[in-house]
Amino acid sequence: MPIDMSPYIAGHKEILTSLSPDRVLTIQLNRPKAYNALCTQLLKEVSETLVQATTDDNLHCVVLTGGLKNFAAGADITEMADKTPVDVLNDSRQLYWGIIRNFSKPMVGAINGFCLGGGCELAMHCDILIAGRTAQFGQPEINLGIIPGAGGTQRLTQMIGKSKAMKLILTGQFMSADEAEKAGLIAEVCEPEQTIEKAQSLAAIIAKKPPIAARLAKESVLKASDGLLQEGLAFERKAFALLFATQDKAEGVDAFMNKRKPTFKGR
């Protein structure tokens, strides 16, 4: 059980952290009213925590969770609504995603509720995913006139295959935890209230293993799919930025914010 509930880094507000005696750091996204939507400050706090965790010898494994209700319903749409393609290309969020992508210690995700858009992309940066039975996964960016921009088109395709990835990305529909387990997106399904505990127990097992071997095992497994990934990520990023110039993006975001159905015109 976690003992230290004080922030791992002083001043962090958008995440909660706890460090257990078995060398597991739990990071909990903490914007419940916005379904843990990933605002820039939240991403900054997660990445700062991971930077510190990298050199902390008391810490061998991380659990990343959104708590018992929702993992994260995506990037914060209100924050990104007015961004231009140039804003997207210059966005500091890319730096934070890079830190998350390069985190070298094993990271277990504990997922409940909505795990959508940037939330699903964040989950896919974890090395092992445990999900509550009622969790829902999806990349619904298409409903906003855009596409995933933090690796979703690449990692989801690698993890569940082209046809299922296309289905989620092109329709914006969600996938249940059971389907996600069958498809290979997650390792295990459990009762929602057990998710964090299960992830922490798994992390504690990993934390007892030799840490250098664990780090190199993670790096080696990621190499299995790294070859084409970099090219795909770079393409996705440019396509994502380009879509911020379309009227369909403006329509999709306005429709979301005003809780109405969008009408897309291909402009």
**Any idea which residues carry the catalytic annotation?**
75, 118, 121, 141
C-alpha atoms less than 13 angstroms from C-alpha of 86 in its C-beta half-sphere: 0
Residues 227-256 that bind ligand CO8 (CB under 6 A): 249, 253
Which of 13-21, 95-103, 137-145, 156-164 is the region at the interface with ligand CO8 (rule: CB under 6 A)?
A: 137-145
Residues 160-219 that bind ligand CO8 (CB under 6 A): none
- Which one, 217 or 242, has the nearer CB to ligand CO8? 242
- Which one, 29 or 59, has the nearer CB to ligand CO8? 29
Q: Which two tokens stand for residue 232?
A: 């795909």
- 123 scored as a contact of ligand CO8 (CB under 6 A): no
Sorted by sequence, the CB contacts under 8 Å of residue 261 that are 6+ apart come out as 255
Q: Closest Cα partner for 62 from 203, 245, 242, 235?
A: 203
Give the one residue of 117, 151, 192, 211 binding ligand CO8; rule: CB under 6 A. Answer: 117
Strands 107-111, 128-132: pairing is parallel
Q: Which amino acid is at 44?
A: K
Task: Give the separation between CA 56 and CA 184, rounded to whole angstroms.
Answer: 31
With CB atoms as reference, the residue minimizing the distance to ligand CO8 is 117
- 34 scored as a contact of ligand CO8 (CB under 6 A): yes
- Which one, 149 or 211, has the nearer CB to ligand CO8? 149
- Which one, 35 or 96, has the nearer CB to ligand CO8? 35
- 100 scored as a contact of ligand CO8 (CB under 6 A): no
- 75 scored as a contact of ligand CO8 (CB under 6 A): yes
- Which one, 131 or 214, has the nearer CB to ligand CO8? 131
User: Torsion over CA of 207, 212, 218 and 219, rounded to 10 degrees?
Assistant: 160
- 144 scored as a contact of ligand CO8 (CB under 6 A): yes
**Nearest distance, CB of residue 138 and ligand CO8, angstroms:** 8
- Which one, 106 or 121, has the nearer CB to ligand CO8? 121
Give the one residue of 73, 165, 196, 206 binding ligand CO8; rule: CB under 6 A. Answer: 73
Task: Give the separation between CA 14 and CA 28, rounded to whole angstroms.
Answer: 9
Give the one residue of 71, 97, 114, 137 binding ligand CO8; rule: CB under 6 A. Answer: 114
Q: Which two tokens stand for residue 108?
A: 């277990």
C-alpha atoms less than 13 angstroms from C-alpha of 165 in its C-beta half-sphere: 18
Q: Is 186 left (phi over 0), alpha (psi -120 to 50) or beta?
A: beta
Give the one residue of 64, 77, 107, 177 binding ligand CO8; rule: CB under 6 A. Answer: 77
Looking at the chain, list the stretches that DSSP marks H as alpha helix, in order from N- to C-terminal side.
Answer: 40-54, 77-80, 85-90, 93-102, 118-124, 152-160, 162-171, 177-183, 195-207, 211-223, 226-243, 247-257
Applying CB under 6 A, the residues found at the interface with ligand CO8 are 34-35, 37, 73-78, 80-81, 114, 116-118, 140-141, 143-144, 146, 149, 249, 253
